[in-house]
Structure formats: C-alpha cells, structure tokens
Chains A and B, each alone.
Chain A
Amino acid sequence: MLILNIILHEWKKSIRGQGFYKSLVVNILLAIFAVSLAIVLLFIGYSLGGMLERLDNPLTPLQLMNGAMLYLMFLDLTIRFFMQQLNSFNLVPYQTLPIKRSALINLILLKPLINPLNYFTFFIIIPFAIQSVMHYYSFAVALQFVICLVLGTWFNSLLTAFLKRKYGADVLSFLFLFLLIALILWLEFKKHFSLFSLSLAVFKFIIFNPFGLLIPVSAVILAFYLNKWFFTQNYYPEQFKESHIGDKMFQSKLVFLNNFGAVGALISVYVKLIFRHKRTRSILYMSVFFLSYGLVIYTNDLFYTNDGLLYLVSVFITGMLTFMFGQWIICWDGSHFDNIMTQNISIRTYLNANYILLIIFDLICFLLTTPYLFLGIRLFYLHIAALIFNMGVNVYLLLLLSTLKNKSIELSKATTMNYQGTTYKSFLVVFSILLLPLFLMIFISRFTSVEVAIWILTFFGLSGIFMRKQLISICVQQFYKRKYLMARGFREGE
C-alpha cells in the first residue's frame, strides 16, 4: 500500500513537473526513436538464428549463444556501468514520516528493474528463443532460456547499481572493466583459458537442468543483498556526497585567465562549471571519445573518395565540443541568470565571453584531431577549412540560437540518457547546425563543384571571423529582445 502511494507520488511528480507538456514534442520524438529501435532489434532477433546456423561450426545456435553468454553479460555490465543511472529518488521528504527504512530502500533498489530500457534486448531474445531454441529443443527449454535471461538482466542491473554506488562511475573504473574484458579475450585467443567453454557448461546446466534456474535466482538474491548491505553501511545520504577537492591542482593552472578581465573571469567560471558537474564532465569525456570516430569514418572508402562528405564530417569533428556545449550556453547560467544580469558585466562582455569559450572549444578539437593528418595531408587542409567555417559561422549561430531557450539545465544530475532541459528547440539548434553546411554544400556544388563549394564556405567563415564586432552586435540585440523571457523561464524552472 505504502509503496503504491510513493509510486503514485513519483508519477504525479513527473506529470506535474515543469515543462512536461512543453517537452511533449521531445517525448514523441523519443517514442518514435524507441519504436524504430524495437523494430530493428526484432529484425536482428529474427535473423540471428539463421546467421548462427551458417557459421562453420558443429554447435547449435543455442550452444553458441550459451558460450557467448558470459561475454555478453560482461559487455552488458560494462555498458550499464556507463549508461545506467543511479536511482535518484528523493528520500528526504519520506525520511521523517513513519515509514520503515527498509521499505524505502527496497523501493530504491527495485524501481530500476521496471525501467523498460532493461527489456529492449528481449526484442532480440524472444524471436531467437522461438525460432532457434524451440526448433532444436522444446518449449520448456525456450521458456527456461528466456527466464534465465530475465534473471540475468536483473542481476546485472542490481550489480551495476552496487558497483556504481560503491566505486563511483568515473572513467577509470570504466577503463578497468574494459581492460578486464580485453584480458579475458586475449586469454581466450591464446587458449590459456576459455571463458567460452566455461560459459557453455554453466548455461547448459542452467537451461537444461530442471533445477538450473536456482543458480540465477540465487545470483539475483545475492546482488540484492549486496545492495542492502551497502545501504546499512552508508546510512545517511550525506555520505554519498562527492567532494570537489580533487580539482585544486587543475585550478592553479587557470591563473593565466586572470589577465583577461571580465571575459577571463567568466571563462574561468565556465571551466569550473564544466568540471564540477557530472553531466558536463561526462559530455566532455564522451566528446573527446567521439573524436576517435574519425578513425572509422576517414578510413572508409566511401567517405575518403568523396570530398564533400569528408568536409562535412570534418566540420562535425572539429566542432565536436562546440556543438556539445554550444547547445547549453546561457541556459547553463539559468540558476544564476538574475545574478549575472545585475553584476557589472555588460551584455556585450557576457556574449563575448561565451563566444570566446566556443572558439576555445573549436581550437581544442582542432588540435586534438591534428594526428589525422597521418591519414593524408588532404584531411589536414579540410580540417583547417572546417575550423574556419565553425569559427566564423557556427559559433554565431549557436550564440543566436541559445537565446531561444528559456529552460535552465539541471547540471548535477546523471549523465547519459538524460533529456532534462531538452526541448524541441534543442533539436532545432542541432539540426540547423548540422544541416546548414550540408544544404549549402549540396546547393553550391550543384552549380559549381565540391571544391568551389568548400572554398565558398571557408570564405563565409573568414568573413564571419573578420566581422566579429558586427555579428556580436546582432547577437546583443537579439539577447536584449529575449532577456526578460529568458529570465522568467529560468526563474520558473527553479
């Protein structure tokens, strides 16, 4: 009864929350994305059995699957470690009410299990179970197989929650898991130790033995009590608080910013903003990780022989950080917008600081991606052209479009799959930034050639860089027009 009440509260909180209806468009887009993903997964599940049959191997598809199972679970664990959010259910209002603590903890632990994201893999598993497992064995085996995987999902979810709470989800622990998998794979290939045959044996027992399911059941129970144990060890919420003492060193290196007056002062605040919030930190790391996408794309013949495509990819890669954070400028000041607006900062200085921040991001990405010149000096020239376009066109666009948003962003919460603060306007920003060079490219190259198109876009960029004063003035005018609306939106968001 109690649990039902609390779930009801949570539900009310989500539909009465600010901007639930405002972000309806976002929700619809996400739903479309989910449906299309489900269809793709169903298709994969449908054809998986056939693909495994065709392998030159005496094992049945189920046996192959069983052998790979421990690997898959490890992989799942790694992905979860990165993606799965800790349940940030707000305990405080309930703590003083006469509710048993253990009931609340059970709720915190079990609620993530009803998250539909957990069960997306079953779009693959169920068709596979019907097609391949039932075909070779029996309905009972197929059922046992599916149940085993449901339990496996629960086990992984609970274990991830425990590991994340206990060890924290920084990049180092992610790297550690990654290396562990690499090590096991290496052992497998060197034939020192085969996780494959171990997995095969274990899952053969689980799925074919009538009592086999006792193993995953006890694993789930074990993981559940591990979590419980953690909560008895860490009774008070304050024990989870992250400290910021670690970035002391880093700040001392920022002293040079002091020489740039108000702009420098603002930028050093932004640097702290990025490093002291989980969400921005993880975006930063992910962007740097995405830079390596170039390795995949640039080495692909389809791209490498097409200058137009290559240029567009360069625009994207040299602008990675700018695009990622450019969507958030100004509205990440949401919670202290009134404060900034009454400080001794002119609007021009404020926008200038944001402009320079974005330029710095562009330059960082450009420098980080210079190693791609080893793939061909042509790429290096394209990167320079793309950098100029980003600095002279995209930066101003981001600055202009950022004034459209009037919903502040909650930065301290969670990492991936967090759509808080995302409105249809965010999609607008991303699309216009990504599509503008594409359309220009298609349009101009239609009448001339790709090479001329790149030169013209670069020329746009250069003129943008030289007309900084005038263009910033336009942004200032736009900012004044939107100032009150933004301030009001940010205040409401609190």
Chain B
Amino acid sequence: MLQIKNLQKSYNGVQVIDINQLTIPKGECFGLVGNNGAGKTTLFRLILDLIYANKSEVLINKEKVSRNDGWKKITGSFLDESHLIDFLTPEEYFSFIGKLHYKSKENITDFLELMKDFFNGDILETNKLLRDFSKGNQKKIGIAAALLGDPHLLILDEPFTGLDPSSQIRLKRFLVELQLRLNTTILISSHYLNHVTEVCQRIVVLEKGIIVKDLQTNDDTLMELKEYFEVLT
C-alpha cells in the first residue's frame, strides 16, 4: 500500500529524516512512536507531499505522491486541528469534504449517524463554528472527516492526544473495527505506548529520523518499548 525508498530530508544541513526502506502492506495497522523531535510529523508530511524531500521515493498504491493527485482519492488524513477550515460549522465541513468524495447528502447523513457515538452529542446541531470548539472536539471532527471518504489508507498524527478517556477508548475500538471491516491500512503516531500496542500490529520506533526498531506486536512489545524509552532518559 505504502512504499518508502530512500527518503531523506534535512533542514539547514541537519538530517531530520533518513529512511532507507519501509513498506507497509495493505490492511496493516502501523504505529509510529518516538520522542518529541524524532521526526514523526515530518515523516507524515513527507508521505502526504506537504514538504519538499531532498531525496525521495514515496509511493501510495504504486503511485508517486509528489506532483500527483491520484493518491488523494484513497488517502484520508488528519494531522492537526489548527488546519481545519475553522469558519465552517461541523455540518458544513462534513458536507464540503463529502462533496469532494462525491458523496450524496444521504451518504453523509448515514456516515454522521455512525459517528454519533464518537461525537458524544457535543458536535452536531450545535450551530457553532469549528473555531469555537474545544481542541478535543476539533480533533474528533478532523478524524471523522478523514474517515468520510472511505479511505484505503488512513493517516492520523497523535489521534489520542487531547481526547477524553472515553473518546480514546471509543477511537481505539473504532480503528480496530475499521481495519477488520474494510481492511483499511492505518498509520498512527502516538505517545501512548499502551494504546499503540493495543491497536497496531506493527510498531516502528523513530529516533532522530532513523528507524531504530521495527516490531511485530506481541505480548512483550509493551514491555520492550517501555524499557527502550526508559533507557533513553
């Protein structure tokens, strides 16, 4: 589904991403962990063609991402709540995103019905603009919008941060379901080691832009990760 070969990015001569080879097969749930400044967000931005790579080969579905729009059809992503179109109401935002994916009004209504649980009644029919919502609720809106286009590849940057405990649990359940039901490939980054190990089949640890660990999740993974990050401090 996603192939990265020879991806390099540096700012002012400092290498921030250097990945030789990374392949994520279809249907895998892939977790990215690493301390602040490890390059998680930079990697996601490179995958989504938002920043210029010094050297790169990023392929989504065997198509190059740079100077190409094809991957946008099958990729849903949410990086940061500050990038939402903040002068719209949630309904308007969903209908905008929906239209970009050729969804009918009924499709969107059905989708929002599915999301009702996740939204917990705080979001729809409030007649508020996105900028007036709390960060957590903005995050929920962004994540929901990323799901709206039935993506084959879903990219979420720190989806658990800023969510209340119930929503974190709901989101976890949601992602697992999504993967089972639609065989969606999921990429998430997180600081919550226990959440990632619960949701992801494969976990990669990034440090200063380099892959230092590539683990298939099993019962010992959480312990292993905890030990790794304890040593670092």
Contacts and interface: CB of A to CB of B under 8 A. Distances in A.
Interface of A: 241, 244-245, 258, 261-262, 264-265, 268-269, 272-273, 276-277, 335-339, 341-348, 480, 484, 487-488, 494
B100 A265 contact: yes
B81 to A, nearest CB: 10
Contacts of A484: 50-52
Of the four ranges (under 10, 10 to 19, 20 to 34, 35 or more), the interface on chain B belongs to: 20 to 34
A272 B72 CA distance: 25
A269 B84 CA distance: 12
A345 B102 CA distance: 11
Query: What 8 A-B pairs are tightest by C-beta distance, nearest first?
Result: A346-B69, A484-B52, A265-B99, A339-B83, A276-B87, A344-B100, A344-B72, A336-B85
A344 B148 CA distance: 11
Contacts of A272: 87-88, 92
Given A346-B69, A347-B69, A277 B75 contact: no
B87 A258 contact: no
B130 to A, nearest CB: 10
Contact of B75 (A265, A339, A342): A342
Interface in B77-112: 77, 79-80, 82-88, 92, 95-97, 99-102
A244 B96 contact: no
**Best-surrounded residue of B52, B84, B85 (most CB of chain A within 10 A):** B85
B67 A345 contact: no
Given A339-B85, A342-B79, 10 more contacts: A262-B99, A269-B88, A338-B80, A339-B83, A341-B49, A341-B50, A344-B72, A344-B149, A345-B69, A488-B51
B80 A258 contact: no
Given A336-B85, A342-B77, A265 B96 contact: yes
B129 interface: yes
A341 B79 CA distance: 12
Chain A contact residues, majority secondary structure: helix
Interface of B: 45, 48-52, 67, 69, 72-73, 75, 77, 79-80, 82-88, 92, 95-97, 99-102, 127, 129, 132, 149
A51 to B, nearest CB: 50
B87 A487 contact: no
A240 to B, nearest CB: 13
Nearest to A244: B129
B72 A338 contact: no
Given A273-B87, A276-B87, A344-B149, A494 B49 contact: no
**Best-surrounded residue of B48, B73, B95, B99 (most CB of chain A within 10 A):** B99
A174 to B, nearest CB: 24
B1 to A, nearest CB: 16
